[in-house]
Amino acid sequence: MAVICLARFAGEKEGATSFSTADRLDDPFVELMIERGVPEEQILYLKDDEASMENIRPSFPSFWPKAPKVKP
């Protein structure tokens, strides 16, 4: 299994988002995936400023070779 977790809760303007960052579940979700046996090298986790299009696109080519191949 491979996991891609992109979590961006910051808006362009301060206060533009209706989500509270106090109760975020993205970190616990990634930790759960590791606890359930997903190797860390098979998890792509980009959070907030890391989860921009300019960072997401270049992350995929190096991530896909680490992901397990699905058998038909």
Whether the per-residue pLDDT at 19 is higher than 80: the answer is: no
Per-residue pLDDT at 35: 96
The stretch 18-39 carries a mean pLDDT of 85
pTM exceeds 0.75 for this model: no
Per-residue pLDDT at 12: 57
Whether the per-residue pLDDT at 52 is higher than 70: the answer is: yes
**Percent with pLDDT over 70 in the chain:** 82
DSSP character string of the chain:
--EEEEE----SSTT---S-STT--HHHHHHHHHHTT--GGGEEEEEGGGGSHHHHHHHHHHHGGGSPPPP-
